[in-house]
Amino acid sequence: MSNKNDRGWGSFDWVSGGDTGRSGLSGANWGGFSWGDAGWSGLGTDFFDFAGGVGNDQPNDRGDVIKLESLLGNSGHYDVSRTDGPTGWWGTPLENGLKSYQKDKGLAVDGFVLPKGETLGSLKDDLLDTFKGFRAPTYHEVDRHHTNNRLGEGGLLVERPPPVIFHPNPDLPKLETDAFQANRRSAANLAQIGDPGDFPNLAKLAVGDYGDKAIVELRDLVGKIGEIDPTIADLYGRVIKNALEPEDRVKFLGGADRPDPPLGVLKAEAEARFGPFPSPDEARQALADDIAKWGEDADQNAPVAEDNGVVTATSEDGTHIAIRDTNEVLAEDGTVMASGPEDSEQDAADSEGQDEGEADQAIAEDNGEDGQDQTDGEGGMLHPAKAEGETDASKKSDKASEPKFAKGHVAKNLDQFEKDAKAKKWVGKNQQCVSLVKEAVPGIGPSSLWKEGDKITGFGKPPLERGTAIATFENGKYMNRDTGNHAAIFLEYGTKDGKQGMWVLDQSKNVPTTRHFLYFNESGKSVIQQADRYSVIRNDK
């Protein structure tokens, strides 16, 4: 079958633009590693060498499937991060991604990739420069990667982009105290929402109007989101820097934008070219240092801005100019439901957009700041000031909208169990999941007597208190089998790789206590890996 190849989509440029020679900013390197080409583009790659066809009724050699997953993952047509990297197994999601690519490129949408076919030729035209110098992993390496991930030992492949790196930028102005305070609550709200929606465009508008003052607020905001959820902070950092003009991007990052390696390649090869991948904390260390510095300067008794979701800009004379209502923007693109005051309580219970997800702070703390007044001129470029003549009705509605948690057993001393998770320790009398839950929730009783409470049906449904004991049930009972059932401690709702789910603390045989993410709507996975197959362990007391 002959496929027409558009050939019009050039290879993706992994290196974002930016003036790297600005005073006071770091150069185009990190950790002593150059980010330039360094001769890599002159090397070849075997990512486009297929032994046979891939598709329904094709040989589907695992090595070929691994290559196709990686290629489509980098073209943006297949979510290779959803499975924590390529697997080497042909299936419906990969077929859909392939057909989507063929449709976008003007090719015959047949769902096949043949060694000398037009689809593979198109992929090579698009992605050859991206994969030059990288070899495709073998299926043995892919299997080892997933085994290591399950054991918490770190995978072998690049399964998602490394964190965006921020550097110190002493050229930026000092962050104002009111903006520092207001960012605390805004960070909690944005971490709940998870999906940035139109926020990057709002940030770009603020930077365009107010320059470096807006940039320093954005850096502080990303840093504070990182204190709540590192994954969501990286997401916000990434979309904001992509939205900014090159010169502003350099200021926002404090240096040149580090290029991302292609997904699906061996991590060792990627680090040899781009330098070691930083941890989220390392990547945002400069922001954490700034927060500590601003915190020392901030007046801890200063009034705190109420955060009603309006992104504002502040002129020199203290006049607040609302750019746009963030919640309205997010409602337009489907991230949250638009609602009036009468819907506030239902919104709290059905917080479709209050996500994260490796965003995780489903129920944010307000640090006791509700009810404090704000004087004119406070709030910063990204926060609302209290409007003239505003009443306290909004405060009452805020309290009315506080979520009512599902009735369940809640773990005590949760911080200690999370420390055990970091130390890779099992908790309780044995390695079973039930042992952890019983240790965390004394008095919960034998698992054979557990009763099913509220079912978890989606993000924020129902609102759950951090530390709530959950489990899979069948016909209202917990089945104490060796496999196919599971119990865990709920941590928070969140998003990971753009998909909603929840973070839990659990353990199992051969896998010590760990922080684990469960996705919603994952019907193709086992029951214990589906967030919406869990229920609260009911507490009748």
Active-site residue numbers?
A: 433, 486
What string of H, E and C letters represents the secondary structure of 450-465? CCEEEECCECCECCCC
Distances (CA, A) of 62 to 69, 141, 156, 267, 534: 10, 12, 17, 20, 33
**At 519, is the secondary structure helix, strand, or coil?**
strand
Cis, peptide link before residue 403, omega less than 30° from 0: no
Question: Helix count (H) and strand count (E) of the chain?
Answer: 17, 10
Q: Give one DSSP letter per residue of 235-266, joined into a string.
A: HHHHHHHHHS-HHHHHHHHTBPPPPPPPTTSB
Residues pairing with 420 in the sheet: none
Distances (CA, A) of 458 to 352, 432, 516, 535: 8, 26, 17, 11
Rounded to an integer, what distance in angstroms lies between the CA atom of residue 109 and that of residue 97?
Answer: 11
Residue 323 is inside which H or E element, if any? strand 320-325
> Who's near 358: CB < 8 A, 6+ residues apart?
229, 230, 231, 494, 495, 496, 503, 517
Residues 202 and 324 sit within 8 Å (Cβ to Cβ): yes
Token readout for 52 is 């046979």
Q: How many CA atoms lie within 13 A of 358 on its CB side?
A: 12
Tokens 């009603």 sit on residue: 308
Give, rounded to a whole angstrom, the gap between the first and last alpha carbons of the chain: 68
Residues 148 and 33 sit within 8 Å (Cβ to Cβ): no
Residues 378 and 247 sit within 8 Å (Cβ to Cβ): no
> Who's near 268: CB < 8 A, 6+ residues apart?
156
Residues 463 and 421 sit within 8 Å (Cβ to Cβ): no
